[in-house]
Amino acid sequence: MTTHAFSTGEGANGRRSHAMPALATDRLVPQSKRFVPTHFPFQPLPQPNGPAPYRYDLSRLLPQSDIQAIKQAGKLVFHSLGDTGDFRGQQKQFVAQMMTDDAEALDAQSKPAFCYHLGDVVYFAGDIDKYGDDFYATYQEYPAFIVAIPGNHDCQPDDPQDGAIDPNKVPLDGYVQNFMSKNPHQLGSFKTGSGRTQMDLPNVYWTFITPLATIIGLFSNVSETEGELHQDQIDWFHAELTAADKSKALIVAIHHPPFSGDTDHSGSSAVSHILTSAFAATGVYPHIVLSGHVHNYQRFLHQPANGTAVTCLVSGNGGYTRLGRLQKVNGSYPTVPQEVDAELTLEQYDHERYGFLRIEVSETLIEVVSLGAQYAPGQVVTPDVIDHFKIDLASRKVTMPTP
């Protein structure tokens, strides 16, 4: 069959007839310009809950006895996931049940202290009226507190192409009401019967201080492809990297991933540039970068020639109704490890299972387990171990535990 030029879907002056076909390439492309450009401009940020530097200590969530127990055990455990609040299916409840079962099965010293959500809490425009069913009801049985950074869909305006516009809607209003509340004793949802109260986080970008880890959370705004941070947030990020306790694990969280080998979103070159420039300028490199946005699991190792190795994870398989596939390399899905270029390697991935991360931090190690299962409607399943690795905090060496 002849492949005509118009089969690419691209026409004159930005017109498009259909989605572009899958990349045909002999290597993975972690940042691609071939995807549909955003039709939303940068969205203004809400007023923070107080002055910079927007830090939030775990002791504001947990009683002092729990903080002391974490310190005595020398171990902090938490869950993380992203891209959950899709109202069109039950995949988010499927993952929430697995995560709840995992929390309940762990011994007393390994219970998750919190869940860190990587954004896209509620689709498709972060609507306040969807939080009851698509957040509070979803995690009604989950025992830990949930904190979050917003994703692009948490700040997306109503799309006139999808129907009527709410003239009173303000981007990020759902996130502000539920994660930046002035009253953290306020129940988030009365109609669902959930006992979960709202959170009082300081800002849409903020630093989480815990006994064993510092998590710097960034907000990458509304684009479907490229993240966008303005200079005030970038300056804040540099300052927080510099201020981070060097004796603790350091994690950076941002919704748009710097690297992704998928066919729907791709990695953000803008985010990659902002992160790597900040690390080089401050001389401070995180042990892990956590992202969502792409609806699967991926682990990259980024090791610049003149820099320090950073593990970059995509964990966006938390409940969106369709998982995103990886690009094919020479006609087949990539084998791992897959060298992308001299500085970047795809170490592991999974695009068939929904799931979450369990992260354990000690004074010397970060241990990450990616857990997930193929969607089985109405069934309670035991998740598979998709990936399991450890990072030595001092050497940054990544190792796989012996089975």
- Rounded to 5 degrees, φ, ψ at 232 are -65, -40
> At residue 15, does pLDDT exceed 60?
no
Reply yes or no: is the peptide bond before residue 78 cis, omega within 30 of 0.
no
* Mean pLDDT across 183-208: 96
What are the φ/ψ torsions at residue 239 (nearest 5 degrees)? Answer: -65, -40
- Other beta carbons within 10 angstroms of residue 303's beta carbon come to 15
List, in sequence order, the alpha helices (H) in 121-191: 131, 173-179
Tens of pLDDT, residues 17-50: 555 555 557 889 999 765 555 568 999 999 999 9
The whole-angstrom separation of Cα 292 and Cα 126 is 16
Q: Would you state the pLDDT for residue 258?
A: 98
pLDDT at residue 403 is higher than 80: no
What is the pLDDT averaged over residues 309-334? 97
d(CA 86, CA 92): 7
Q: What is the pLDDT of residue 108?
A: 93
Q: Is 378 helix (H, G, I), strand (E, B) or coil?
A: coil
More confident residue, 225 or 215: 215
For residue 131, the model assigns a pLDDT of: 97
pLDDT band at 11 (very low <50, low <70, confident <90, very high): low
Q: Can you tell me the mean pLDDT for 87-116?
A: 97
279's CB contacts (< 8 A; 6+ apart) are 241, 285, 286, 307, 308, 310
Distances (CA, A) of 167 to 43, 125, 132, 135, 170: 16, 13, 21, 24, 9
Q: Write down the domain spans for the chain.
A: 25-399
- Look at residue 217 and tell me whether its pLDDT is greater than 80: yes
Q: Are the beta carbons of 339 and 366 closer than 8 angstroms?
A: no
CATH fold label, 25-399: Purple Acid Phosphatase; chain A, domain 2 (3.60.21)
Q: What angle do CA 361, 300, 256 make, to 5 degrees?
A: 85
Instruction: With residue 137 as reference, give the H or E element that holds it.
Output: none
pTM of the model: 0.94
Instruction: Provide the mean pLDDT of the chain.
Output: 93
User: What are the tens digits of pLDDT across the range 120-174?
Assistant: 999 999 999 999 999 999 999 999 999 999 999 999 998 877 677 888 889 999 9
What tens digit of pLDDT does each residue of 249-276 get? 999 999 999 999 999 999 999 999 999 9
C-alpha torsion sign, points 375, 155, 287, 28: positive
pLDDT of residue 163: 73
